[in-house]
Structure 1
Amino acid sequence: MISVREVEILADGAHAGQIDKIGVPYIEHVREVAAGLSPFGDELVMAGLLHDLLEDTAWTAERLRQRGVPDRVVEIVVAVTNQAGMTYDEKIRRITADPQATLVKIADNAHNSHPDRAAQLPADKRDRLAAKYRSARAELWPAARRGDVEAIIRIVNPSLLGELDAHH
């Protein structure tokens, strides 16, 4: 079976040359998401490293399986991948049907919501994305155990802890 390190190398190669909304190499985002999933074991760390691969690269689920990525990891990655014709709200509802995909999306959302990242966006985009991410958290967080949500945001974006306390 493929190791976490091998998955990280695969993700690094697949995202090579890509930059995110704030001009940072894309691999930094997937590494942060994966770090937030470290309390939950290797499969979720792998899913965190690969969570944007199908959306943002030429990789396919079948190709991941051929490379030795465990079926469950590929299932989680597929669950968090945008599908044509599906609204963001529908995507979030589909994700919350899978407890492990929910944790991956919570980590992704937490990193995307990080104040250091938001501060580098134009105000209109920052406000629009903040509202989108807040709305997603209102669906995602209740679909997971509070302790799991807290473990993730403590690592990825501690600024959300106050919001978590207000939620529960």
Structure 2
Amino acid sequence: MTSVNEVDFLADRAHAGQVDKIGVPYIEHVRAVAAGLAPFGDELVMAGLLHDIIEDTDWTAGQLRAAGIPVRVVEIVEAVTNQPGTSYTERIQRITGDAQATLVKIADNAHNSHPDRAARLSPDKRARLADKYRAARAVLWPLARRDDIEAIVRVVNPSLLAELDEHQ
């Protein structure tokens, strides 16, 4: 079985040279998502590290399996990968069919919603993305245990704890 360190190395190489919406090396995003998934075991940490690899690099699910990535990790990554022609709302609905993919998406959403990241966006983009991510949480959070959501957001984006208290 592939180790978390090996998957981190793979993700680092796959995302080399990529930056996110605010100009930060992309690997920082996937590592933050993975950190929020640490309480759920190595497979979810690996899925967090790889959650955007099919969508944002030349890697395919078949290549991940051939590289020794556990089948279940690849299944989770495929579940959270954007598919052309699918709206964000449809994507969130598809993800919620898999409890572990839902946790990965909750961690991804939490990091994307972090105030430090949002503050570096234009006001229009910040407002649009805040609405999008809030709507996604309204679908994702009811399908996960409150303790699990709290464990993720406490690490990835503690500012969401107040919203979690209001939500449940």
Who is 1:93 aligned against?
93
Within-5 A mapping of 1:7-22 = 7-22=7-22
> Secondary structure, in 3 states, of the residue corresponding to 1:13?
helix
Within-5 A mapping of 1:1-168 = 1-168=1-168
Unaligned runs of 5+ in 2: none
Cα offsets for 1:93-132 (capped at 9, x unmatched): 0001100000000000000000000000000000000000
CA distance in 2 between counterparts of 1:86 and 1:20 reads 21
Q: Tell me how far 1:18 sits from its aligned partner.
A: 0.1
Q: Tell me how far 1:87 sits from its aligned partner.
A: 0.7
Cα offsets for 1:47-97 (capped at 9, x unmatched): 000000000000000000000000000000000000011110010000011
> Secondary structure, in 3 states, of the residue corresponding to 1:127?
helix
CA distance in 1 between counterparts of 2:22 and 2:88 reads 21
Q: Which amino acid aligns with 1:60?
A: T
Q: Which amino acid aligns with 1:102?
A: T
TM-score, structure 1 normalization? 1.00
CA distance in 2 between counterparts of 1:27 and 1:14 reads 9
CA distance in 2 between counterparts of 1:12 and 1:85 reads 28
User: Matched residue pairs, number?
Assistant: 168
Q: Tell me how far 1:144 sits from its aligned partner.
A: 0.5
Output the aligned Cα RMSD. 0.3
Unaligned runs of 5+ in 1: none
CA distance in 2 between counterparts of 1:123 and 1:13 reads 33
TM-score, structure 2 normalization? 1.00
Give the percent of matched residue pairs that are identical in Structure 1 and Structure 2: 76
Cα offsets for 1:16-73 (capped at 9, x unmatched): 0000000000000000000000000000000000000000000000000000000000
Q: Which runs of 4+ in 1 moved over 4 A?
A: none
